[in-house]
Amino acid sequence: MTEATIHPMRGPNAFKLGVFSMNADGGLTLTKVPERWPATWPELMRMAQYADSAGYEFLLPIARWKGFGGEMNSREWSFETLTLASALAAVTQRIAVFSTVHVPMVHPVLAAKALATIDHVSGGRAGLNIVCGWNPEEFDLFGLSLIEDRYGQGLEWFEIVERLYTSEEPFDYDGKYYQLKGVSGKPRPVQRPRPVTLNAAFSAPGRDFAARAADYLFTTFTEIENGREPIEDMRRRSAETGRDVGVFTTCHVVCRPTRAEAEDYYESYAVQYEDSASVDKYMGAKAKHSQSHSEDAYRLHRKRFAGGGGTYPLVGTPQDIAAEMVRMHEVGFAGTTLSFVNYLDELPYFTESVLPHLREAGLRG
């Protein structure tokens, strides 16, 4: 890809699709079924190459440093996302390769150089997903404390990355969280002024941060109709900063030829085979330390947490799932990520059976 080529996130499809959390064992699930995603490199590479050739827009890893306990300790096995994106860039052709970067754990000067490296390896297909963090066990692992003002630190972090990419001269930075001297670095990324940026968040401060620093908010919703709220809210907040910030969301998928087959499998892996202690731990920690889901989600949707980390379930026939995606597009989402119990087993069926309906609906070419 050359500098003049459009980044996949800015391509023509009206509803963009990415694959999320394929770098971690279990994907987004907290299940014990034997076919759960192992996230080994050979399988991950094959899945990425498949998604690339099938025309999906992006690969988005999860950033995790600790597992969630229970029998499987899901996500303890997860590949680091900057080094992974560089490897995926080298084995794919068209798809965007995102890195999900924790502001408090990764120094902005390191992040900027790593991201520029990925952008060169990929010919301008890098993406940055900024996460400010929520899990105290992960902060403990780095000897850090979770701070109230996480987005204040995020803004300084982002400003340093942007200035590194744009400043003609080495600069000093004297902020609340970073005091740096003589900051400079080359190469600059292929994308100017910086790679496409998402901010994964739900709360009002998270949305304000996205309005100032991101191209897209990456967020959850509980019911499709309620999706209008973050989209309109984001429109208002980004209008105030004079920017246009779209909204991506995230879903887990069980797509089968009949509704009964899909629902039976969902019930099996997310209820009968849920990894109960890890679901308890994950839901408890998320409810206490993050606002990444609405309060209803914790009260009503345990199955969604076991089934896909609390994301929205797309469970049914190809027609059912395509119809839900059309509604998601109608409420204003720019696209969604997909996750599966086993990406390599399930993504091809999704491609062959759901994408034609989305083409017919005019959502994808």
Ligand X SMILES: Cc1cc2nc3c(=O)[nH]c(=O)nc-3n(C[C@H](O)[C@H](O)[C@H](O)COP(=O)(O)O)c2cc1C
The site for ligand X (CB under 6 A) is made up of 62-63, 100, 131-135, 200-203, 205-206, 218-220, 250, 290-292
Task: Compare residues 23 and 317 and give the one whose CB is closer to ligand X.
Answer: 23
Task: Compare residues 194 and 286 and give the one whose CB is closer to ligand X.
Answer: 286
Task: Compare residues 61 and 195 and give the one whose CB is closer to ligand X.
Answer: 61
CB of 47 to ligand X, least distance (A): 18
CB of 210 to ligand X, least distance (A): 9
Q: Residue 166, exposed/middle/buried by CB under 10 A (0-12, 13-18, 19+)?
A: exposed
What sign results for the dihedral spanned by CA atoms 135, 147, 218, 20? Answer: negative
CB of 198 to ligand X, least distance (A): 9
Number of neighbouring beta carbons within 10 Å of residue 176: 10
CB of 343 to ligand X, least distance (A): 16
CB of 224 to ligand X, least distance (A): 16
Task: Compare residues 158 and 273 and give the one whose CB is closer to ligand X.
Answer: 158
Task: Compare residues 122 and 220 and give the one whose CB is closer to ligand X.
Answer: 220
CB of 205 to ligand X, least distance (A): 6
Task: Compare residues 69 and 133 and give the one whose CB is closer to ligand X.
Answer: 133
Task: Compare residues 64 and 256 and give the one whose CB is closer to ligand X.
Answer: 64
Q: Residue 43, exposed/middle/buried by CB under 10 A (0-12, 13-18, 19+)?
A: middle
Instruction: Indicate the DSSP class of residue 23.
Output: T
Q: Are 103 and 131 in contact (CB under 8 A)?
A: yes
Residue 250 neighbours by CB under 8 Å, 6+ apart: 20, 218, 219, 220, 311, 312, 336, 337, 339
CB of 206 to ligand X, least distance (A): 3
Helix (H, G, I), strand (E, B) or coil at 181: strand
What sign results for the dihedral spanned by CA atoms 104, 109, 113, 116? Answer: positive
Q: Locate the DSSP E strands across the chain.
A: 16-20, 58-60, 96-102, 126-131, 171-174, 179-183, 196-200, 216-219, 246-255, 312-316, 335-339
With CB atoms as reference, the residue minimizing the distance to ligand X is: 206
